[in-house]
Structure formats: structure tokens, C-alpha cells
């Protein structure tokens, strides 16, 4: 899930003794400023965390909460920006409109459960029944997605994307911390004990197994990225030999053009096809002239964002086609 929306859930926990509403974007039309599934927690005194528009819609919701105009007994489905005048008034882009579910929270027992499962790197599906305010939690798959049919609202929470980093050095440290803010579950592999001893990035999984074993153990899928940053060709190449044969959406390796050319020559000596070797992003990241570890991490994340978003669109198109098929295949 988006790290902003995780902040909303944590705020719910810290505000659980207050009068609260959870506001969720359920439909967007045109140039909506926030995507479907975006969330905002709203308190009775007008305090709010999260975003559904980044503008005047929040102001209107806050005003309604402060004036007692929001229901404490049932969900409301409201629309903003339906007309051109409304779009201008609420600061929406030209032609933009959205529908929101405003959900009162008489009970928040589900919040602890969902935060615990997210902390355990589990995916969880939350289903809200609008008529009764009943909330159910179930295990989710990476293929599950947001849905709203007017009676039930289903959201998916947890780390939808995974990043396996080979090497526990300084660049890996920056990359892991930054990637966490973008909702990646982080796994770091380094068989060198001296490197593992200094790793201190919270909420990451650190393993000392050999990199090829780490890739195989991860059961890589199309929501996984693998990046080799150990500076040790023996370790990095071991990971790449398995990663390039996997369905990972991104496989990259640190190093110059020359060192990666030699790396490709070494990989060609093994059971990798030319097409598999061509999947390697090496040098890893976008060419933005980065030199320092944090700059390199930024360049890697920028490229990950670009490739990931293309992958997400492709997966979304695929599952839509599956749904159209009578057999679902």
C-alpha cells in the first residue's frame, strides 16, 4: 500500500478515542488529483491526516466535521467536481471529478490487526459493508486490487512490491530507507558477516545466505525487483544468474559501463539466453550523473518507479482481460 495511506492507518490507531471518519476515494473521472483508494482520516475537531485531493475538498470535509454535518451512524457516498463550477471551486483540474466514501468509525478493532499484519509483511484485504459498517479482513493476493460496487468497499493493504538488495553497504542503506517510503518490502542479502553486523535499517529482512539461494527462496514474482550492490562480482553474479531467469520486473547491478560489459560476458558463459542477459539494467538506475550513495539510490528509485508503473499498467490490463474471459483464463 502507499506509505501515505499507511500513515493514515497509524493515525487511526493513535486517535482511536476520538470521533473519527475514514474518507476513501472510490471513483475518479478525468484529471483527478488523487488516485482511487487514497485515504484521509478526519477527526471531529477538524484535524485531518492523509489526502483525497490536496486542496479544497479537505477543507470542505473539515468544515462539515466541525459543524456536525457528518453522520456517525452510516456511510455517505459523496461526489465532488461534478460540474465545471464545482471543479473550479474545489480546486480540481479541468474536467476532474471524484466520489468519496465517508465512513464513521464506531469500532476500530480491525486497525490493530491490519497494522500487525502489515508489520509482518503480509498482504491483507479489508472489506467494508456500507449498510452495516461491518469490516472483515482476509488474506490478500498480489493480484487483488481496490474495488467498490456501491455496497461493499474493498481495499488491499500491505507491501505490494518487494525489493531484494544484494549487499549491505552504504548505498544499500540509502536505497532501503527510500524504497520503504514507496511501499517496498525490503530483503537484504549479504553472506559477509562483517557487513551484516553494521546493518541497522529497521523493518527490513536481513539474510546471510548465498545470493543465488536468497533469490530462489524468495519465490520471485512480477512484483519483485532485485538489485546487486555488493561491489563483489562473485556475490552479485550469483544473484543475477537466478534473477535474470525469474519473473522479476526489474534486475539491476551497480557498476560502470565497462564493468557491466564484462559482467555480461561472464553471464554468457552460463545457461542464460541473450534475451535474459538483455534484461539486466547495468549500470543500474537512470543516468543523472549521480556519484554519492544517496544520489545513486535516488537514480535507482527513479528508474524503479518508471519501470514499476509500466509493469503495474500491464498487469492491470492483463487481469481486466482475464475478467472478460468466460473461463477467467
What single DSSP character describes residue 93? Answer: P
CB-CB neighbours of 134 under 10 Å: 11
Q: Tell how strand 124-129 and strand 152-157 pair up.
A: antiparallel
Per-residue pLDDT, 328: 44
Instruction: Give the Cα separation of 272 and 277 in Å (integer).
Output: 7
Print burial letters for 237-261: b (CB count within 10 Å at least 16), e (below 16): bbbbbbbbbbebbbbbbbbeeeebe
Per-residue pLDDT, 161: 86
With vertex at residue 180, the alpha carbon angle to CA 178 and CA 182, rounded to the nearest 5 degrees, is 80
Q: Tell how strand 152-157 and strand 205-207 pair up.
A: unpaired
Name the nearest CA neighbour of 253 among 218, 280, 288. 280
Reduced to 3 states (helix: H, G, I; strand: E, B; else coil), residue 70 is coil
Are 114 and 123 in contact by the 8 Å Cβ rule? The answer is no
Sign of CA dihedral 257, 261, 264, 266: negative
What are the average pLDDT values for consecutive 10-residue runs of the chain, which has 329 residues? 78 91 89 80 94 82 94 93 59 68 92 88 91 94 87 88 95 96 92 96 95 95 93 95 96 95 95 95 94 96 92 55 47
Per-residue pLDDT, 319: 46
Is the peptide bond between 316 and the residue preceding it cis, with omega within 30 degrees of 0? no
- What is each CA distance from 120 to 116, 157, 160, 258, 289, in whole angstroms? 6, 12, 13, 41, 37
CB-CB neighbours of 119 under 10 Å: 10
Concatenated DSSP letters of 256-298: -HHHHHHHHHHHTTSS--HHHHTTEESS-S--S---SHHHHHH
* Helix (H) / strand (E) containing 161: strand 161-166
Domain ranges of the chain: 3-157, 161-309
**Ramachandran assignment for 192, one of left (phi > 0), alpha (psi -120 to 50 degrees), beta (any other):** beta
C-alpha cell at 295: 544520489
Per-residue pLDDT, 143: 76
Per-residue pLDDT, 189: 98
CATH topology of domain 161-309: Rossmann fold (3.40.50)
Concatenated DSSP letters of 215-264: HHHHT--TTEEEEE-SS-HHHHHHHHHHHTTS--SEEEE-S-HHHHHHHH
Amino acid at each position: 500500500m502507499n506509505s501515505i495511506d499507511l500513515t493514515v492507518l497509524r493515525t487511526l490507531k493513535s486517535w482511536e478515542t476520538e470521533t473519527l471518519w475514514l474518507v476513501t476515494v472510490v471513483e475518479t473521472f478525468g484529471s483527478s488529483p488523487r488516485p482511487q483508494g487514497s485515504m484521509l482520516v478526519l477527526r471531529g475537531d477538524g484535524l485531518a491526516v492523509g489526502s483525497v485531493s490536496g486542496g479544497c475538498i479537505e477543507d470542505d470535509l473539515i468544515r462539515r466535521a466541525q459543524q456536525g454535518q457528518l453522520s456517525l451512524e452510516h456511510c455517505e457516498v459523496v461526489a465532488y467536481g461534478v460540474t465545471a463550477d464545482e471543479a473550479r471551486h474545489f480546486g480540481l483540474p479541468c474536467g476532474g471529478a471524484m466520489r468519496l466514501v465517508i465512513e464513521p468509525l464506531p469500532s476500530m478493532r480491525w486497525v490493530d490487526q491490519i497494522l500487525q499484519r502489515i508489520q509482518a509483511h503480509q498482504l491483507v484485504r479489508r472489506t467494508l459493508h456500507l449498510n452495516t459498517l461491518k469490516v472483515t479482513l482476509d488474506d490478500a493476493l498480489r493480484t487483488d486490487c481496490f474495488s467498490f460496487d456501491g455496497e461493499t468497499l474493498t481495499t488491499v493493504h500491505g507491501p505490494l512490491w518487494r525489493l531484494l538488495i544484494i549487499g549491505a553497504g552504504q548505498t544499500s542503506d540509502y536505497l532501503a530507507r527510500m524504497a520503504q517510503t514507496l511501499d517496498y518490502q525490503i530483503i537484504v542479502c549479504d553472506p559477509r558477516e562483517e557487513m551484516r553486523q553494521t546493518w541497522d535499517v529497521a523493518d527490513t529482512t536481513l539474510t546471510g545466505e548465498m545470493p543465488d539461494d536468497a533469490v530462489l527462496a524468495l519465490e520471485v514474482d512480477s512484483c519483485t525487483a532485485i538489485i546487486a550492490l555488493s561491489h563483489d562480482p562473485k556475490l552479485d553474479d550469483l544473484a543475477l544468474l537466478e534473477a535474470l531467469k525469474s519473473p522479476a520486473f526489474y534486475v539491476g547491478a551497480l557498476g560502470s559501463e565497462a564493468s557491466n560489459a564484462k559482467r555480461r560476458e561472464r553471464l554468457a558463459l552460463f545457461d542464460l539466453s541473450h534475451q535474459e542477459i538483455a534484461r539486466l539494467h547495468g549500470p543500474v538506475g537512470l543516468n543523472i550523473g549521480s556519484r554519492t550513495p544517496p544520489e545513486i539510490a535516488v537514480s535507482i528509485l527513479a528508474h524503479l518507479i518508471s519501470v514499476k508503473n509500466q509493469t503495474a499498467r500491464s498487469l492491470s490490463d492483463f487481469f481486466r482481460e482475464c475478467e472478460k474471459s468466460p473461463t477467467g483464463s
